[in-house]
Structure 1
Amino acid sequence: MTADTDHAREMIPVLRRLGTVVDTAGRTEASVIAELRAFRPDGILTFSEFRIADTVRLAQAFGLPYHAPDALEAITHKDRQRERFAAAGLDAVRFRTVTALEQVAEAIDHVGFPAIVKPVVGASSRNTIAVADPGECRTAVAAALSGTEGPAETAVMLEELLVGRPVDAPWGDYIAVDVVARGDDVRPVFVTSKFALAEPFRERGGYGGHSVLPDAEIRQVCDLACRAVGTLGIHGVADVEIKLTVEGPRVIEVNGRLGAWVDDLALRSGTTDPADIAVKAALGHPCTPAAPFGHGPAAFHYLVVPPMGARRVKAVHDVPALRRLPYVDRVTVLAEPGDRADWRIGSGSNVAAVTGVAPDHDALAETVAAIEGTYWIDYE
């Protein structure tokens, strides 16, 4: 079933080569359900953050196992998620939900500084920024709620900033674990180690399955991820982001779908097959995940992110210079001259994705440095 979006419509010819497609464009949910009922579905699954609520409703209509309806808000709303974690004794982070500027002062009194402002509902690091004092906080909240400088939010969170421990470049101070959950049985599927964030909080991608972290710490992170998913009523796959602090791992958030690039990284690193596991879980078939990390070469997906001060792509040139770098297999250019490059739109302003496989961590670090040192694009 395809969503009523430009991207989904572009993909329909490809999807029809794989099976029957039900196009939802311009249709009521009742008419879509009536058409789907004729197929007598055995399972249901989405890989899109923005289709989780629709998938929950369809699962209810067909009596199919999926995320619990009463868990939907906690899965898709970051503030409700924090409440669930605190109630379960899993993790307690100070936060306040803010829908109007008049609420900022009380939120600051409760949360303190340093803090982070981020959307209650959203993905891809949109409108996410750290703040260190009341002036910065008020400015960030005002910009996010008004949409005068970027996407408008109906609600944001002011949240205690989880400070990551010091790490060497280019590695990140956070990590992601994808898991599969069926009732109380929650197991890790794949670990995605991360690259350092671009300011203010924009992801630069990840690599797997061999992490720079020691195996014992990876197992600790996997255990925390599984416990976090177990508190939310998730059925199927989920992606958990975890901050690595000096006090130990802390949950950043849980997403009720497979993480970005996870299936690609897992397959190219020869670790496991997350999409296959997700489909088997949706159908109720037996699936026993392999070890979620390995010790072979590191498959990577590196995102080239504009500097924070950039506002627009001015020129793109010499892309082959990126392709000639050692261990790079593919470069996907995501921007054209004239495209917006505002940090407020998060991953929507990424200008390229560079993928490949490095034999070890030293080679991967050298490759990342070479990508960042290659002159191939100009900004305004």
Structure 2
Amino acid sequence: MSAYTGPSPSGAGAGGPAGPGGRGGFTGRRLALVESMLHSAFYDGIHAARDLGCEIWLLVQGVEWYTDGKPFDDHPLARVDKVIHTDTHDPDAIVDAITDTDGRPLVDGVLSFSDYHTEATATAAERLGLPSQGLDAVTAANHKHVLRGLLGDDPANVPYRLVTSPDEVDGAIRHVGLPLIAKPPSEAISYGVRKCLDEAGAHAAYEELSAVKRSLRGQPRPGHVLFEQYVPGTEISVESMTGGGVTHFYGATSKDLHRTTMLEEAHSFPVPLAPGVWEQVTAAVGRTLKAIGYRQGPAHTEVKLTDDGPRIIEVNTRLPAHMISTMVADVCGADPHLVAKLLALGADPYPGRAGEGVTPAAAVVVLFPDAPGVLTAVHGIDRAEATGNVTVSLHADPGARVASRLDNSASVGFVYAHAGTAGAALAKARHAASLITVETQEGD
């Protein structure tokens, strides 16, 4: 895929005068969002579109996922124009919620950034003739064994085996090799990802993960486990935006991973890669997006850089979490949250480019508790922010139950920093994070 450019900042897109990010396309438009990812970047993206004239309808199964027992009226999502309670796993229910009695759409677009709801959302969009990311594409991205099958013999693919019963484990180990990665084939936020060093570890991972018969959002799962060859190398993610049949690549994001859970603990953007390596990476990601039939929207693609070239780890047909989209916006000058929403409304926005933002580089360190339990306090925020060009944001309050460091749901906040290079920003964010203590105590 070639580079998606959209109209220049001074031009006009399908939605009206572009401005930075094509913002004129929001005026008088109505967008339905099916659920939301957690944390302020996604909430801020919603209200940025509302501030530019877009009416936002939010479809939710229930508000408990977002409130942690607190009143929903106090939550940022409560400030959308309309909250609709419906079965957000069911495309029929989504269609009914956003159409009139004659079946005509009451919205100009429908979009989801939740991996658990992108398939139902794409189905609804296509039934109503609204802009869609492509049902086949989001299905392949959400079900990782389907992605592997579509990549086939592409050099960026890795050996894999979908394990559907205990008697298939040994054969899968022989096919994939050790060490290997075991994961649920259809989950998000690094939930259930395990690195297995030996046969005993692989059997234990299968036993653990096959017992999980519902997703984090309650969808039924068959208990299958995906085994993939562990690929040594440096992991990055590639942030991109597809529109009009072509893809614009913002740049690469670094990843600091926990050694066993593979949990992402820090990021920086944009990571400088040698021109030849960057060309190989974008070619591999472009082939992957083409293989799944991705029509439009953001993609967050995880890639391993190996001695034999890039390897595709996963594709997420949504905006990334962990403030990565904030880094992209600050470096590239256009907010991907706004760009993605404009695409869903049928506009042709300008995506922005590195060097057009307010800083050359940025980084984020994820704050995790040292032990699970009840969050009692977070100390050192003032000292961290006093180091300069650093902000700390929390998404867990004292009294909240916090989990072990096994997936991204355990995080309690972010340390965000600007600097002249990605490496300098990461060093600044790490230093600031070292001044912060997350305090927990045992309890229910």
Assess same fold via TM > 0.5.
yes
Q: What's the counterpart of residue 91 of structure 1?
A: 156
For residue 234 of structure 1, report the CA deviation from its aligned partner. Answer: 1.7
Of residues 313, 320, 342 in structure 2, which corresponds to 1:280? 342
Q: With the length of structure 1 as denominator, give the TM-score of the two structures.
A: 0.83
Structure 1 outlier segments of 4+, above 6 Å: 25-28, 150-153
For residue 270 of structure 1, report the CA deviation from its aligned partner. Answer: 4.1
| C-alpha distance after superposition, 1:105-135 (max 9, x if no partner) | 1111211112111110111111112112111
Of residues 231, 244, 250 in structure 1, which corresponds to 2:311? 250
| C-alpha distance after superposition, 1:217-251 (max 9, x if no partner) | 33432232222111102222222111111222211
Q: What's the counterpart of residue 301 of structure 1?
A: 364
* Structure 1 range deviating more: 14-23 or 199-208: 14-23
Query: Does residue 433 of structure 2 align to residue 341 of structure 1?
Result: no
Q: With the length of structure 2 as denominator, give the TM-score of the two structures.
A: 0.72
| C-alpha distance after superposition, 1:152-200 (max 9, x if no partner) | 9822111101111xxxxxxxx22222323346x2312423412311232
Distance 1:322 1:74, change over 3 A: same
Residue 2 of structure 1 aligns to a residue whose secondary structure is strand
Counterpart contact for 1:108–1:134, Cα < 8 Å: yes
Q: What's the counterpart of residue 193 of structure 1?
A: 253
Distance in 2 (CA, whole Å) between partners of 1:27 and 1:114 is 35
Query: Does residue 359 of structure 2 align to residue 291 of structure 1?
Result: no
Letter in 1 for 2:380: V
Q: What's the counterpart of residue 229 of structure 2?
A: 160
Distance in 1 (CA, whole Å) between partners of 2:89 and 2:283 is 43
Structure 2's unaligned 5+ residue stretches are 1-57
Distance 1:143 1:181, change over 3 A: same
Counterpart contact for 1:280–1:287, Cα < 8 Å: yes
Counterpart contact for 1:113–1:161, Cα < 8 Å: yes
Residue 109 of structure 2 aligns to a residue whose secondary structure is coil
Query: Does residue 238 of structure 2 align to residue 181 of structure 1?
Result: no
| C-alpha distance after superposition, 1:17-74 (max 9, x if no partner) | 5534433269986465334123543332211111112202211321223133344431
Q: What's the counterpart of residue 316 of structure 1?
A: 377
For residue 138 of structure 1, report the CA deviation from its aligned partner. Answer: 0.7
Distance in 2 (CA, whole Å) between partners of 1:119 and 1:108 is 16
Q: What's the counterpart of residue 394 of structure 2?
A: 332
Counterpart contact for 1:204–1:303, Cα < 8 Å: yes
For residue 204 of structure 1, report the CA deviation from its aligned partner. Answer: 1.6
| Pairing 1:111-190 to 2, within 5 Å after superposition | 111-146=176-211, 154-164=223-233, 173-182=234-243, 185-190=245-250
* % same residue: 24
Alignment length (residue pairs): 365
Distance in 2 (CA, whole Å) between partners of 1:285 and 1:333 is 32
For residue 334 of structure 1, report the CA deviation from its aligned partner. Answer: 3.1
Counterpart contact for 2:114–2:318, Cα < 8 Å: yes
Q: What's the counterpart of residue 48 of structure 1?
A: 114
